[in-house]
Structure formats: structure tokens, C-alpha cells
Amino acid sequence: MGVDNRNKTYAGEAPDEAQWTAIVGNDAAYNDRFRYAVMTTGIFCRPSCKSRAPKRENVRVFADSDPAMAAGYRPCKRCRPTDRKLPDAEWIGQMTEFIDRCYYEPITLDRLAELYRGSPYHLHRIFKRIAGVTPVEYVQRTRIARATELLETTSMPMAEIADAVGFGSVPYFITVFKQRTGTTPSEFRRLGGRPAYVEVSE
């Protein structure tokens, strides 16, 4: 289940010019003045966090860590805005919630590493240890699970389903679907859906 963002949307304040300049410039001089949260990822950081600046409209500012956490945001793994180490399971939980919510977007290992402040190698290793699958496998499983729902409950054409769940093309969608389930999407729909669905191990 994805994160409920309703509280996040209205919590905190939009950054003023000085705060936004500090965020974009990773200005450590502002670290004791505020924390900033990113609504799309559900995490919050110090102004000095060394990462590409998020979109300004997705940023909310808090006086310190406590109100950010009270609003449902989680501390960044890299900059540790609470001065406490974020447990690996919680770090990976941030990513799986993001994937569950945004599976239809382009999601790569490099993008996750950028969003969640870690090296791709380290993220890949920890993700597999905690989740039992690689990030790419988790994304594909999530997309295929959503695709099976659409095949069962709608009459959407294959191209629309492929696009809705984040696959770049129908042939790629069909290939991954068959790898994961043992049938093509058309066969799955013709056979009545879920009874034919069996996750194929790799």
C-alpha cells in the first residue's frame, strides 16, 4: 500500500526565497534553522544535503525534525537530519512505498539512489537483503500485479495497460508479463485472469 500523502500536502510551509536558495545551494549555514521535506518521496533533509534540488512546488519547510516526522515524513539516509542513523529496513521501506505509489513512472536504480541518497551499489545490496528481491524486480512485480488487475477488471487495450503500468512498449510488457506469470497478457485475460497467474521464479 502506498503512503497517504494527504497530511503531507498541507503540512509545513512553502520555502521562502532565502530557504529555497539555501536548499539549492546546500548551504550548511541554515542547518540549524529549518528542515525541508519533499512530498513526492516522503523524506526530509537538512538544507546542506548533497543532492539535486527537488522541484520547488514539492518542498515543504519545517522548523526542525520533530514536526516533519509528525507530518509523516522520514529522515534522509544520507544527511541524517535527526542526527540518528536511519535503520536499513526503514530506508528500504521509503523506497517500496514510493514504488508502490509511483510504479507507472520511470524508475531505475540510479533514480532511486538519487532520490534516497545512497550509492546504487549499496542501495541494490541493502534492498535485496531487506526486500528479498532487487529494486528492478520489485518494480516489475508491482507493475505486473497492477497489470493483472487491469486485465481482470477492464477491457483496456494492451497498449493502454502497458502505458498505465509503466512499461515503455507493448512488446516489452508482453515479454516481462510472460516471464513473471508464464502466460501472455492476452492468454491471461482469455483464461479468466487470476487462476492462471503464477509468479515465475528467476
How far apart CA 175 and CA 97 sit, in angstroms, is 26
Strand partners, 13: 61
Any catalytic annotation for residue 45? yes
Tell me the CA distances in angstroms from 152 to 180, 189, 191, one per residue in order.
16, 6, 10
- Choosing from 45, 49, 76, 79, which is the catalytic residue? 45
How far apart CA 92 and CA 88 sit, in angstroms, is 6
Q: Of the candidates 167, 154, 158, 164, which has an alpha carbon nearest to the alpha carbon of residue 187?
A: 158
How far apart CA 134 and CA 153 sit, in angstroms, is 29
Residues marked active site are found at 45
